[in-house]
Structure 1
Amino acid sequence: MRVNVMVGGPQEQIPVEMVRQHQDETWIGVDHGATLLLDWGIKPVAAIGDFDSTAPAEFARLKERLADIETYPPAKDFTDTQLGIMTAIKKFQPDQIIIWGATGARLDQELANLYLPMQERFRPYLSRIQLVDRYNIVRYFLPGTYSIYRRPDFDYLAFVSLTPVRGLTLPDEKYPLVNWSSTIPFSWSSNRFTSSVNHFSFDAGVVAVIWSRD
């Protein structure tokens, strides 16, 4: 089962055409993300957050349309995005979690969302989580050997070590790499696919793979 979590980030960063391709799936709205979903004709199964980015009239609309709304004070132990992912896991134990609207604008919030799967409570779901915006798709990988697939219109490929990494090998990308290791985070950016399927492997650490477009 796939659960989509719509965060209330900058609307211009959200690929609405891609969102609509998943409109019949399960959605959770986070703060203003719940309003965006209703605007796009999608009724989330739940809405959660402090709703400090939601206008009073918008919140009244949410209360009229949705049966499951959880509100939190702005001063709390978790970010709204964390609450949305925790809700997805608690209610559905999904095979895949897609996070939308979590990038752009404030860099601190973008970094918090990018590193969210590294946190202990989310680590068991790390390989099931993706971040999607208009220009990027981010997936997370634990050590192993993988096949990755070219996506239409996403021309660039990056491999980002989020922890110390050992043995990263890119055997058939445009810019290959052999048995690379590092003790610091590093981004091998602007690589490219050489066919519809490429491969990579590494022996230790956590690597984010990013499909990107201009």
Structure 2
Amino acid sequence: MRVNIMVGGPKELIPLEVVRARKNEKWLGVDIGATRLLKEGIVPVAAIGDFDSTNDQQFKRVKKLINSIQLFPPVKDYTDTQLGVKNAIELYHPDKISIFGATGGRLDQYLSNLFLPLEEEFRDYLENIQFIDKQNIVDYYLPGKYELSAQLGFKYLAFVNLTPVVGLTLVDEKYPLNNWNSTIPFCWSSNEFNGERNHFSFKSGVIAVIKSRDLVTN
């Protein structure tokens, strides 16, 4: 079972076609993310956060249409995104948590979200957490051997070691790599799929794999 979370990052980076295709799935709205979901005709199972990005009129609508509201003070121990993930886990123990609206905008918030799965509280769910925007799909991996499936339109691959990594091997991507180690965070960017399925492995550490694409601008 999958839970989707909408948070408050730049709306122009949210792939609404994906959101609309998941209309009948479970959603959590975080701060202004709850209002965004209501605009798409999606009533989330809960609205969560300090709602400092939601004006009075929007919050009145949120309270009217959403049964479960979890209101937190602006000064708190968790970010709004952390609260969303925490609630998704506690309420549903899902197989996958897809997070929208968590990328772009302020770099500090972007990095906070990117590193969220590494935190001790969420570490057991690391491989279940995914970030999605118009240009990127981010998944997390623990040591092992993996197969990646190409996704229409997303031609690029990046392998980002978020911790020290031992033995990263890109078997059949466009630009292979053999038994690479690093003691610092590092991003092997601008690799590409070579065929529909590619493989990689590593022996220790945590790696984020980013499928990405260029956006066509007019």
TM-score range, shorter chain: over 0.9
Q: How far apart, CA to CA, are the structure 1 residues paired with 2:156 and 2:148?
A: 13
- Which residue matches 1:112? 112
The alpha carbon displacement at 1:6 in A equals 0.4
- Which residue matches 2:155? 155
Q: How far apart, CA to CA, are the structure 1 residues paired with 2:141 and 2:157?
A: 15
Q: How far apart, CA to CA, are the structure 2 residues paired with 1:211 and 1:42?
A: 27
Please give the root-mean-square deviation of Cα atoms over the aligned residues, in Å.
Answer: 0.4
Measured against aligned partners, the alpha-carbon deviations of 1:63-118 in whole angstroms (never above 9, x if no partner) come to: 11011000001000000000000000010010100010001110000000000000
- Which residue matches 1:35? 35
- Which residue matches 1:199? 199
Q: Identical aligned pairs, as a percentage?
A: 62
Q: How far apart, CA to CA, are the structure 1 residues paired with 2:184 and 2:91?
A: 36
Q: How far apart, CA to CA, are the structure 2 residues paired with 1:197 and 1:43?
A: 36
Alignment of 1:44-83 (within 5 A): 44-83=44-83
Q: How far apart, CA to CA, are the structure 2 residues paired with 1:162 and 1:22?
A: 30
Measured against aligned partners, the alpha-carbon deviations of 1:102-152 in whole angstroms (never above 9, x if no partner) come to: 011100000000000000000000000000011000000000000000000
Letter in 1 for 2:199: H
Matched positions, count: 214
The alpha carbon displacement at 1:155 in A equals 1.1
Describe the SS at the equivalent of 2:172: coil
The alpha carbon displacement at 1:20 in A equals 0.7
- Which residue matches 1:131? 131
Q: How far apart, CA to CA, are the structure 2 residues paired with 1:116 and 1:197?
A: 28
- Which residue matches 2:16? 16
Q: TM-score, normalising length from structure 2?
A: 0.98
Q: TM-score, normalising length from structure 1?
A: 0.99
